[in-house]
Structure 1
C-alpha cells in the first residue's frame, strides 16, 4: 500500500471552512478490520451536507465524506474477507461519523462490508449506491406487504433523483406499470427511457386538498419526497395498497388523517437503508445482481456523469438543490 493517497478532506474551525483534495496516510484512517482500495463511490444528498459548513452531519473535523464505496480488499484481519475480494459498503456510519468513500483507501469495520455478488461489477454497485439500495429496499418492503404488478399502477415521486431514477427502472423491469412524478418537464423523455409508462407533474402529485380521501389510484408508491406529496399519496392509494417512504426533500411535516389506514387498509412503510439488517441487505444486493437487475443500457442511462475527486465540488450543489438527474459516480 502506498505511503500516501488522495482523498477529499473537509476542514472546519471557528474561522474557516474548506473542502479540497489532499494526501492522507494509512495512519489517518479510522479503526477497522478491512482496508479497501476504493475504485468507485457516488455523490449523495448526505455527501452534499457533509461538504457544506452548516450541513449538521459531520461530527468532527477534519473529515472524509462519501457514504458509498466499492472496491477491492487490500488487507483484512477478519476471516470473512481476503485480499483481492470485491466488496462494497453503504450506510452505517460511513461518510457521517467514519471516514468515507471519497478516498483512494478506506478502513472500515468488517461488519459493514458486503461481498459484491456475482452478476454485478464494482462500478455497477455504485450506479445503485445508497440511493439505488434505498429504491430496492422500497421494492422489497412493498412486495413483502403484498403489492404486485397486476394490482395497478405504482407511483414514483422525485423520479429524476437518485432514489427515484433507480425505482422507475427497478419497478418497470419487474413488470409494474410505473407512473413517475417530476417537476422537470425537460426530463419526461429520460423517465420514459427508464421505463415509466406515464409522467405526472409535481404540481398534481403534491396538490393539497381538504378531502380526507380521494379517488383510489395507486396500488403502491415509492416516495423519497414526503410533505404534501406524501399526503396526496395517502389520500389516493387503493384499498390494501402500500407506500414506501424514504425521504423528506418536500418537507418533514405530514398532514393526513387516520382514514386511509382504517377505511382502506393503506400501509405506510418506513424505509431505512442506513442500519438495514445484514441478512436483508445481502438479500437485496443479491436480487439487484439477478432478477431485479435492469438492462445494461438502462443502468447506463441512470449515470449522469463520472467525476474524479476534484469533480465532486461541481456535483454536490446540484444534488442539494434537487437539480441532479440520476447518479454521479466518483471514480477513484
Structure 2
C-alpha cells in the first residue's frame, strides 16, 4: 500500500505538536481491519486533542479523529470483507489507537460496526459520536421509563452537535423538546429541527432552592456545573437527567432532594466506551426509528483533511454551530 496522509499528534522532548504527515500502514496501531477512510467529523474532544488543550491521548504519536467511516480494503476477521462499508466511533480512537483523520485506518475488529443500509458514510459521520451520544442518552432514559407523558425534555448546549442532533432525535421520537442555548440568533434553526420552545441560557433564573416546581420530564445536559444543578430541582417525579458533557464545569453543587423525594435519576452517558451490543443497538435505531430527519441542516461545514486543524479553536471558543464533517481522499 502506498504512503498516505494523516493528521498526526506528537508529544516528545520538542513538545506537543500536530499536523499532516505522510505515513505508511506500518505506522498505525494494530488491528484486524484496514479501512479506506471516506469521512470523519470534528467533535469537541477532537479539538482538545488536536490543540493539546485537553489530555485526550494516552500514548503518542497517534492520528487524531474519534470518528471514521469508509470501505474495508483488508481484513483478517471473517466478519468483515473487502468492500464492506463500516464505521467506528469512540472505542479508543485518538486515545489509545490511531484515529480517523487519516486516508487509511487500521482498527481492531471489535471497534468496527457495519454501516446500516439506510445511511451513507457521510451521513453516518454527520451523526458520528455526537448523534450516537444523543441516541445513547435516549436509550438509557427509555430503559429507565422515560416517556413523553412525563413532560418536555430540556436540552442544554442546544446549538452544538450533540444538542442539535438530540433535538432532532428526541422530537422525532415523540418528545416535546425545549432547547437551552446562549445563541438566540440560532433559535429559528433549532425550532426547524423540532424544538417547541427555545430559552436563552443568559435569562435562566434558578431559584436556588433544593426543590422547585416540576417543569420538565427530563434533561439532556451538555454543560454541567451550575446549569445542571439548576435544572435538577425542576425535573418531574421519576424523570431522568442524562449527563454527557461539561462545557461549563465538571463540578456539581446540589442536594439529594430531587433524588430521594421525586425519584429523579441521573444517568451517565459514556459514549466512548460503550459495549459492542449497545453500540449495535444504538446504530440500529439511528438508522431506523430514531434516524435524524434534518442531517443536511445539522451539517453546517465540510472541510478537507488539510483544513481540519483550523476548526479546533473556534469550537473550543464556543463558536461552533452544528456538525463539521471531514472529507478524506485516499491516495490510490
The two structures have a TM-score, normalised by structure 2, of 0.96
The answer to whether the 8 Å contact 1:208/1:228 transfers is: no
1:327 alignment counterpart: 323
Contact kept, 8 Å, 2:151 with 2:216, in 1: the verdict is yes
Deviates more, 1:195-204 or 1:298-307: 195-204
Unaligned stretches of 5+ residues in structure 1? none
- Determine the C-alpha separation between the residues in 2 that align with 1:277 and 1:238: 30
Cα distance between partner residues in 2 of 1:200 and 1:53 = 33
Equivalent residue, structure 2, for 1:162: 161
Counterpart of 1:255 in 2: which secondary structure?
A: coil
- Aligned position for 2:48: 49
- C-alpha change, 1:9 and 1:56, in structure 2 (3 Å) is same
Q: 227, 230, 245: which one pairs with 2:228?
A: 230
- Determine whether 1:107 maps to 2:103: no
Instruction: Give the C-alpha shift of residue 92 in structure 1.
Output: 1.6
Per-residue deviation at 1:50? 1.2
* Structure 1 residue 240: Cα displacement: 1.2
Q: Is the 8 A contact 1:165 1:302 kept in 2?
A: yes
Aligned partner of 1:280 in structure 2 is 278
Q: Cα RMSD between the aligned structures? A: 1.3
Residue 17 of structure 1: how far off its partner (Å):
3.7
| Equivalent residue number for residue 24 of structure 2 | 25
Structure 1 runs (4+) deviating above 6 angstroms are none
Aligned to 2:269: 271
* Corresponding position of 2:82: 83
**2:146 aligned with 1:147:** yes
Distance 1:132 1:169 in 2: 10
**Residue 320 of structure 1: CA displacement?**
1.6
Structure 2 CA distance for aligned equivalents of residues 198 and 289 of structure 1:
27
* Equivalent residue number for residue 132 of structure 1: 131
TM-score, normalised by the number of residues in structure 1: 0.96
Q: Deviations over 1:80-135 (max 9, x none)?
A: 11111111111121111211000010001001111011211111111110111000
SS in 1 for 2:272: coil
The answer for the alignment partner of 1:210 in structure 2 is 208
Q: CA deviation at 1:208?
A: 4.9
Residue 191 of structure 1: CA displacement? Answer: 0.6
Residue correspondences, number: 328
How far does residue 54 in structure 1 lie from its aligned partner after superposition? 4.1
Q: Is the 8 A contact 1:12 1:53 kept in 2?
A: no
1:303-314 matches, within 5 Å, as: 303-314=299-310
The SS at the match of 2:162 is helix
Partner of 1:293: 291
Alignment correspondent of 1:249: 247
Shift of 1:16: 4.2
Structure 2: how far apart are the matches of 1:179 and 1:54?
32
The equivalent residue for 2:94 is 95
Note if contact 1:35-1:107 (Cα within 8 Å) is conserved in structure 2. Answer: yes
Q: C-alpha deviations, 1:58-89, integer Å up to 9, x for none?
A: 23333210000011111000011111111111
- In the other structure, the counterpart of 1:70 is 69
C-alpha distance in 2 between matches for 1:320 and 1:209:
30
For residues 172 and 198 of structure 2, the distance between their equivalents in structure 1, rounded to whole angstroms, comes to 17
> Whole-Å Cα distance in 2 between the matches of residues 167 and 107 of structure 1?
30
Are residues 95 and 146 of structure 1, via their aligned partners in 2, closer, same or farther at CA, if it must alter by over 3 Å?
same
Give, in whole Å, the separation in 1 of the partners of 2:61 and 2:117: 36
